[in-house]
Chain A
Amino acid sequence: MSKDIRIKKGLNIKLIGEAEKTTSKAALSNVYAINLQDFHGITPKMLVKPGAEVKAGEPLFYNKNMEDMLFVSPVSGELIEVVRGARRKILSLKILADKSQESIEHPVISLGNASAEEIKTLLLKSGCWPFVKQRPYDVIANPQQTPKAIFISAYVTSPLSADLNYSLRGKDKEIQAALTALSKLTPGKVHVSIAKSGESFFSGMDGIEKHSVSGPHPAGLVGTQINKIDPINKGEVVWTLAPHDLVIIGELLLTGKFNAERVIALVGSSVKAPKYYTTKIGAEVATFLYASGVNSENFRVINGDVLTGVKTKPEGHLGYYNNTVTAIPEGDDYELFGWNKPVFDKISSTRSLTFSWLQPQKKYDLNTNTNGEHRNFVLTGFYEEVFPMDIYPLQLLKACMIKDIDEMEQLGLYEVAPEDFSLTEFICVSKQPHQQIIREGLDLLYKEIG
């Protein structure tokens, strides 16, 4: 049965550089890297030493606080470097890929008869568990807990993101297998949100609760959907997964192999020919970025979308969770009287000599300039216009800033992830780092209450 969710509050950010619907195979990367910052809150314990040969799907390290949780290599090759930062913190692992790839094989389980424990054990052992995230705290799910429901958003509203109907094409079997397996891990439902208009890749899937969603961004964020479908209360846990990660989980369940291959969208106004590429987790961005060409030297590469992604470099590597890589111009230049002249080429949530409201369908070429300096919170009532949850965003941010744990709990911090504040951060007149404030608040709450 399909249920309708209509989101009214929000803002669609239309940018230049959408990916054309053609897919190329990205050049093979020599070196693949696992960036440890992708796994927030994990303390890694290495299982292999530099110089060791590993196969695709072979564990590289585990979570010190939960030894069952393994993290595996996306390719077979030699672990050539463990990059460390301050206090010997591991930042990333680099693997020099072999010419011919070999994978670890896990026994294939019968999905119809498999128990929740069996599925969980397989996902943990195979390195697929990190794809399962949990709320509260927006971290990798704790396998010892049972979620009240699992949420997957197949309605994408973030700017320039990959079109799932295109990028997941031909992966029906894998996704159905993953959904069937996941439905055993919760006594509740597996909620999948699809776009209300048009066909969705997930329309024909079984064993899930489908929700038709419409409305502007952040309607596509899983946090928004959880809030509207079945909000998280204190003491409850829900799990979330990204649709493109279901493909890897599904393939593991069907074949017993961890296949890190993924169709990604290379987008952004700095890319000459934005389109889709088939590549692998951890591949060098340069292997597909320069194949599409870049418009100038001064651009920023982002692992993910422009609102929630992580800054990287052309010589950086595709993130563990990303199916989009964005390149937009750096905005490190001054603008004469930029603060008071009429503006036609940037997006605004107000109408103070800004005219984006006149052309809501126009696509913009935004750069990374902050368009102003960091200030205390001054304007009020703004965030509420783009924040559809039943939460007071400004009050929650302030509670996080003053580290008032009671207030943070009471105002709904359990329900949110940093990405839910990406749009309020985008429109913030005071240029406050909302996502960072929420992340620090979540970390504090996890540490104190966990």
Chain B
Amino acid sequence: MSLKNNLHKLKEKYKGKKMAPAFNALHTFLYSPNETTHSGSHIRAVDDLKRTMNTVIMALVPVLFFGIFNAGYQHYAAVDAANGVIREASLFGNFITWENFIMGAWTVLPLVIISYGVGLAVEFIFAVIKGHEVEEGYLVTGMLVPLIVPIDTPLWMLAVAVVFGVVIGKEVFGGTGMNILNPALTIRAFLFFAYPTWMSGDKVWVHQAVERAGGPDAISGETVLGFLAQGKGAEISYSVSDMFFGFIPGSVGETSTLLILLGGLFLIFSKIASWRIMVSAVAGSLIMGIMFNATVAAGWITETSSFYGLMSFEYWKHLIVGGLAFGIVYMATDPVTGSQTNRGKWIYGFFIGFISVLIRVFNPAYPEGVFLAILLMNVFAPTIDHYVVKGNINRRLKRAKNATVLPTDSEGKAKELKAETI
């Protein structure tokens, strides 16, 4: 008897029982279901939510692999730097090496395992308790979470945050498709506010920097934004190409702008993520950056100001450091928590870019703003949509008022249109 038949028999056996959702989830992971249409369209397109989520995960895999190598590379580079040896990054020279991979995998994979393990466990428990199918939303969230946290985030902390994020960020609203805030960012925000020392500063971005702090073999792990926020822009040793290719410290997945760009293009090409949000968010960040650059150029801010470092940072460079690019491509485009109308997406994306750079500059204690900007705009997305849809409603109302042929009653007399009642 084939696996397919065995699974089918089990599915029938557990139908209507408490454990059915958990069992169905495993079954539909292996086999797409045998469900057929009943009414309406008798045929359906091939895409389902699993395929959609799978496409986003595929767009994230290169970033994950780069993050693994970079974790190893940054560690060894920092150790070298502590010993007075300054490395120059070279992709096939000292970056893609077994040494870096093993070190990176040893630190990154536990984050992935905890993220998926804990998150999916919570999803399964909720599905069984509430009697609905296990939904696919966490497939992407589970991948995003390890990519947006510092490399040495304690695993227990991550587990607690994942439970919080899935329960409070999603399940209490009714699960995938019903949540207001991006679940991955809710997890990130929880970590940020609950354990701030592990989420910011100059010791969390490179593996073992915290452990070795204060010791004779202490290593440093300051990010580009960290340098700028502290007014130590002159000490940045990374070139523009380092920043673009990603040979810099930062959260696991955020450093390689190149791969994020390619991931974004893949998502746009596959039509899974909104290009409108991405384009307008880039435009928003550039405009805010230009405004800050102009402020410095006009002489309104002097070098003594604590904002000078980030304000004078060239506007386009904001896109290649920190998590801005990652946030724009993978987080802002979340269709559930973002704006749902096409016109709304332009506005929503623009403000994400705009506010991200704004927060970066004015929040020197934690020079990263994209996740706060996205969460803020998540809250405003329904309002944006409301006004966009209102425009359509008003258009319909106006059309009704201007209607030339009026409906008639049974005697053939034209009736007054009660347009104001619409």
Chain A residues, CB < 8 A from B338? 380
- Whether B400 lies near A367 (C-beta < 8 A) is no
Question: Does residue A23 face the partner (Cβ distance < 8 Å to B)?
Answer: no
Q: Give 14 new A-B contacts, CB below 8 A, not counting A234-B418, A334-B33, A369-B32.
A: A146-B408, A146-B412, A148-B407, A234-B419, A307-B41, A353-B51, A368-B36, A371-B46, A373-B28, A378-B176, A381-B342, A411-B389, A425-B41, A436-B39
Query: Chain B, 379-422, contact with A by CB distance < 8 Å: what is the 0/1 string?
Result: 00000010001001101100110010111111010010111011
Chain A residues, CB < 8 A from B345? 381
- Whether A371 lies near B47 (C-beta < 8 A) is yes
**Chain B stretch 268-326: residues in CB contact (< 8 A) with chain A:** 269-272, 274, 276
Task: Please list 30 pairs of residues, one from A and one from B, whose beta carbons are closer than 8 Å in the complex, sorted by A's number.
Answer: A13-B43, A188-B405, A234-B421, A237-B407, A307-B42, A311-B42, A334-B34, A346-B46, A348-B45, A350-B47, A350-B52, A350-B55, A350-B272, A353-B51, A354-B46, A366-B43, A369-B36, A370-B44, A371-B44, A371-B47, A372-B47, A372-B50, A390-B392, A409-B422, A410-B393, A422-B41, A428-B44, A433-B39, A434-B40, A435-B40
- Whether A429 lies near B177 (C-beta < 8 A) is no
Indicate which residue in A326, A347, A352 contacts B51 across the interface (CB closer than 8 Å).
A352
Question: Does residue A333 face the partner (Cβ distance < 8 Å to B)?
Answer: yes
- Whether B395 lies near A370 (C-beta < 8 A) is no
Q: How far is the CA of A428 from the CA of B45 in the complex (A)?
A: 7
- Whether A334 lies near B32 (C-beta < 8 A) is yes
Chain B residues, CB < 8 A from A379? 52, 272, 335
- Whether B39 lies near A352 (C-beta < 8 A) is no
- Whether A145 lies near B50 (C-beta < 8 A) is no
Chain A residues, CB < 8 A from B340? 380-381, 394-395
**Chain A stretch 343-391: residues in CB contact (< 8 A) with chain B:** 343, 346-354, 356, 366-382, 384, 390-391
**Chain B stretch 20-34: residues in CB contact (< 8 A) with chain A:** 28, 30-34
**Chain B stretch 322-379: residues in CB contact (< 8 A) with chain A:** 335-336, 338, 340-342, 345
- Whether A334 lies near B136 (C-beta < 8 A) is no
Indicate which residue in B31, B39, B48, B176 contacts A431 across the interface (CB closer than 8 Å).
B48
Least CB distance from A203 to B in Å reads: 26
Closest chain B residue to A395, Cβ basis: B389
Question: Does residue A441 face the partner (Cβ distance < 8 Å to B)?
Answer: no
Question: Does residue B38 face the partner (Cβ distance < 8 Å to A)?
Answer: yes
**Chain A stretch 409-447: residues in CB contact (< 8 A) with chain B:** 409-412, 418, 422-423, 425-431, 433-436
- Whether B43 lies near A426 (C-beta < 8 A) is yes
- Whether B33 lies near A373 (C-beta < 8 A) is yes
Closest chain A residue to B394, Cβ basis: A410
Question: Does residue A133 face the partner (Cβ distance < 8 Å to B)?
Answer: no
Q: How far is the CA of A425 from the CA of B417 in the complex (A)?
A: 33
Q: How far is the CA of A302 from the CA of B38 in the complex (A)?
A: 11
Chain B residues, CB < 8 A from A146? 407-410, 412
Known: A146-B412, A235-B417, A334-B33. Is A412-B396 also a contact (CB below 8 A)?
yes
A-B pairs, top 4 by smallest CB distance, nearest first, are A372-B48, A338-B32, A376-B177, A233-B400
Query: Chain A, 187-200, contact with B by CB distance < 8 Å: what is the 0/1 string?
Result: 11000000000000
Question: Does residue B137 face the partner (Cβ distance < 8 Å to A)?
Answer: yes
Q: How far is the CA of A428 from the CA of B385 in the complex (A)?
A: 21
- Whether B39 lies near A410 (C-beta < 8 A) is no
Indicate which residue in A337, A352, A378 contacts B137 across the interface (CB closer than 8 Å).
A378
Indicate which residue in A335, A368, A429 contacts B31 across the interface (CB closer than 8 Å).
A335
Known: A187-B405, A372-B50. Is A435-B41 also a contact (CB below 8 A)?
yes
**Chain A stretch 329-343: residues in CB contact (< 8 A) with chain B:** 330-340, 343
- Whether A372 lies near B40 (C-beta < 8 A) is no
Q: How far is the CA of A311 from the CA of B41 in the complex (A)?
A: 10
Question: Does residue A252 face the partner (Cβ distance < 8 Å to B)?
Answer: no
- Whether B176 lies near A376 (C-beta < 8 A) is yes
> Which of B175, B341, B396, B422 has the most CB atoms of chain A within a 10 A radius of its CB?
B396
Known: A13-B43, A371-B47, A380-B340. Is A337-B417 also a contact (CB below 8 A)?
no
- Whether B393 lies near A411 (C-beta < 8 A) is yes
- Whether A372 lies near B410 (C-beta < 8 A) is no
Least CB distance from A401 to B in Å reads: 12
Question: Does residue B49 face the partner (Cβ distance < 8 Å to A)?
Answer: yes
Q: How far is the CA of A428 from the CA of B41 in the complex (A)?
A: 11
Question: Does residue B90 face the partner (Cβ distance < 8 Å to A)?
Answer: no
- Whether B47 lies near A145 (C-beta < 8 A) is no
Q: How far is the CA of A144 from the CA of B412 in the complex (A)?
A: 9
- Whether B31 lies near A369 (C-beta < 8 A) is no
Least CB distance from A35 to B in Å reads: 14
Chain B residues, CB < 8 A from A311? 38-39, 42
Question: Does residue B171 face the partner (Cβ distance < 8 Å to A)?
Answer: no
- Whether B34 lies near A427 (C-beta < 8 A) is no
- Whether B177 lies near A370 (C-beta < 8 A) is no
Known: A369-B35, A376-B175. Is A430-B45 also a contact (CB below 8 A)?
no
Least CB distance from A3 to B in Å reads: 16
- Whether A233 lies near B54 (C-beta < 8 A) is no
Query: Chain A, 209-237, contact with B by CB distance < 8 Å: what is the 0/1 string?
Result: 00000000000000000000011011111
**Chain B stretch 244-278: residues in CB contact (< 8 A) with chain A:** 269-272, 274, 276
- Whether B422 lies near A410 (C-beta < 8 A) is yes
- Whether B48 lies near A410 (C-beta < 8 A) is no
Question: Does residue B4 face the partner (Cβ distance < 8 Å to A)?
Answer: yes
Indicate which residue in B48, B133, B274 contacts A339 across the interface (CB closer than 8 Å).
B48
Q: How far is the CA of A399 from the CA of B183 in the complex (A)?
A: 25
Closest chain A residue to B345, Cβ basis: A381
- Whether A145 lies near B410 (C-beta < 8 A) is yes
Chain B residues, CB < 8 A from A427? 45, 47
Indicate which residue in A233, A374, A384 contacts B419 across the interface (CB closer than 8 Å).
A233
Query: Chain B, 44-68, contact with A by CB distance < 8 Å: what is the 0/1 string?
Result: 1111111110110000000000000
Chain B residues, CB < 8 A from A188? 405
**Chain A stretch 222-268: residues in CB contact (< 8 A) with chain B:** 230-231, 233-237
Chain B residues, CB < 8 A from A234? 400, 417-419, 421-422
Question: Does residue B135 face the partner (Cβ distance < 8 Å to A)?
Answer: yes
- Whether A425 lies near B40 (C-beta < 8 A) is yes
- Whether B47 lies near A349 (C-beta < 8 A) is yes
Chain A residues, CB < 8 A from B137? 378
Indicate which residue in A236, A328, A339, A371 contacts B42 across the interface (CB closer than 8 Å).
A328
Question: Does residue A309 face the partner (Cβ distance < 8 Å to B)?
Answer: yes
Question: Does residue A72 face the partner (Cβ distance < 8 Å to B)?
Answer: no
- Whether A367 lies near B43 (C-beta < 8 A) is yes
- Whether B177 lies near A422 (C-beta < 8 A) is no
Question: Does residue A33 face the partner (Cβ distance < 8 Å to B)?
Answer: no
Q: How far is the CA of A266 from the CA of B187 in the complex (A)?
A: 56
Q: How far is the CA of A372 from the CA of B29 in the complex (A)?
A: 11
Closest chain B residue to A376, Cβ basis: B177
Chain A residues, CB < 8 A from B276? 381
